[in-house]
Amino acid sequence: MSNYDPPFHITEKMMNLVSEISEQIGRINVLSHGTLNPHLRKENRIRTIHSSLAIEHNSLSLKQMTAILDGKRVLGDPNEIREVTNAFEAYEMMLSLNPLSIKDLLKAHETMMKGLIKENGVFRHGGVGVFDGEQLIHMAPPAKFVPDQINDLLNWYSTSQLQPLIRSAVFHYEFEFIHPFADGNGRMGRMWHSLLLGQWKEIFYWLPIEDLIRLRQAEYYDALGKADRDADSAVFVELMLEIILDTVKEIVVVGEDENNSGAINESVQKLLNVMGNESLPLIEIMRRLNLSHKPTFRKNYLLPALNLQLIEMTIPDKPNSRNQKYRKRT
């Protein structure tokens, strides 16, 4: 067994979230017979790549990324286009990667960052930090410790008896704490989290967890910072479990609607009725629905309508924009 012992504690909230996620996974397995259809797989994969790169400030839109991956010519920054093709190639490798292999980790990083940085496929040789914009959130350990720290982390994961949902979230935090590469740590950490979960339940290979991380990007960075200050990753683990729960709930809604031959549930129909033909901010839609609890509104009304492509954002490339509005799709 590994002597490595990541600092965190189990909370009641974690256990409740794990229970809810497991229940939703069961529903997905029933609705999808254990796997997602190829169209949804491709759509989720593109959403995953777009969101993961958007977190790293790639400015290409979802439409542009879809066109690139369809082999179409797109005008844009060559490095940003390269980021897209690299990420798609890396994610396509997932089913053949061993998440506990350092060799495979370096291979995936080489694919993700080739042509973008010189130190691709190798651990960093210098100091790096985690930034949210201009703000330094975390200064990573010295480079000389990285190989042993990653080896210890992988050994810990392979021997730990923790439930995989919690264990993979702890891994995610520890990976970002170590920050093993000169660049690409964020996208690699998120990808490896999905890879670890995919080894547990195959459905996770295809879930766009990064999409909801992007929508809660400020909370994501805040949780990383708080975990550093507390020397305890519990707050980060709880946030990741919340995001995973929201992601699997989205898939359940889509699956149920597909099984109901595209029938629109009552909450979504109410939302469409109050929107009319206007472009409305979120707060105005909630007011018209006489709702005050934003998480309930997002879960039962907004996300299902977006997933069914019945409504769309007026600023899709900046989902958290203060000027964001929603309108019916035509």
Q: Is 132 annotated as a binding residue?
A: yes
91 is in an annotated binding site: no
Rounded Cα distance, 301 and 268, in Å: 5
- Is 65 part of any known ligand binding site? no
| Residue 88 annotated as part of some ligand binding site | no
Tokens found for residue 243:
């995001």
Residue located via tokens 């291979």: 107
Q: Is 186 annotated as a binding residue?
A: yes
44 contacts 207 by C-beta, under 8 angstroms: yes
Residue 313's H or E segment, with its range, is: strand 311-313
What's the sign of the alpha-carbon dihedral 34, 37, 41, 44? negative
Q: Is 190 annotated as a binding residue?
A: yes
Among 50, 109, 179, 193, the one annotated catalytic: 179
Annotation says 33 is catalytic: no
135 is in an annotated binding site: yes
Distance between terminal CA atoms of the chain? 58
> Quick one: tokens of 212?
């909801």
Distance separating alpha carbons of residues 190 and 244, to the nearest angstrom? 12
126 labelled ligand-binding = no
Phi, psi of 326 (to 5 degrees): -130, 145
* 184 is annotated as contributing to ligand binding: yes
183 a known binding residue?
Answer: yes
Give the CA dihedral 30, 36, 38, 44, nearest 10 degrees: 150
Q: Are strands 311-313 and 326-328 parallel, antiparallel or unpaired?
A: antiparallel
8 is annotated as contributing to ligand binding: no
- Please tell me whether 113 is known to bind a ligand: no
Catalytic site residues?
179
> Which residues are documented as binding site for ATP?
130-138, 183-190, 220-221
Binding site residue list: 130-138, 183-190, 220-221
